[in-house]
């Protein structure tokens, strides 16, 4: 998997250790400039990505939440939900299964193109 050159990806790599490639059951959609993953424990498809051990989880998660547009503890308005939510889900790696914080797409998926291989490049 090729490392992203995006500044936030570089920041994440500087403040964490890569555990390896991970996958979880779900679907990955092409939102244009970036992907949106949906967790679905009932599907036979997988979403692939990287798993990191964060050096300072509270600080880094707050920064990632801000970047991803996730409201920190705010009550969402049903008329304007956040594009992503951060949830803990089981992620399979070569080292075993870890329960990981994962940013999942939180808006309707109608008409979005599916990435059938579960990877975005």
Catalogue all structural domains in the chain, each as residue range(s) with its CATH number.
7-73+81-105 (3.10.490.10)
Cα distance between residue 118 and residue 4, in whole Å = 16
Cα distance between residue 39 and residue 19, in whole Å = 21
Residue with tokens 């008409």: 111
Whether the model pTM is above 0.85: yes
Strands (E), the chain: 16-30, 35-39, 46-54, 84-93, 96-105
pLDDT tens track for 31-88: 998 999 999 999 999 999 999 999 999 999 999 999 999 986 555 555 578 999 999 9
């Amino acid at each position: 998997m090729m490392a992203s050159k995006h500044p936030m990806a570089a920041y994440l790599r500087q403040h964490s250790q890569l555990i390896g490639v991970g996958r979880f059951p779900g679907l990955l959609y092409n939102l244009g400039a970036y992907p949106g993953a949906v967790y679905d424990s009932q599907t036979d498809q997988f979403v692939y990505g990287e798993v990191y051990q964060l050096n300072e989880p509270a600080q880094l998660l707050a920064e990632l939440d801000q970047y991803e547009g996730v409201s920190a503890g705010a009550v969402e308005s049903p008329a304007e939900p956040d594009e992503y939510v951060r949830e803990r889900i089981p992620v399979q790696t070569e080292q075993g299964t870890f329960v990981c914080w994962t940013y999942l797409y939180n808006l309707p998926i109608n008409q979005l193109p599916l990435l059938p291989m579960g990877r975005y490049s």
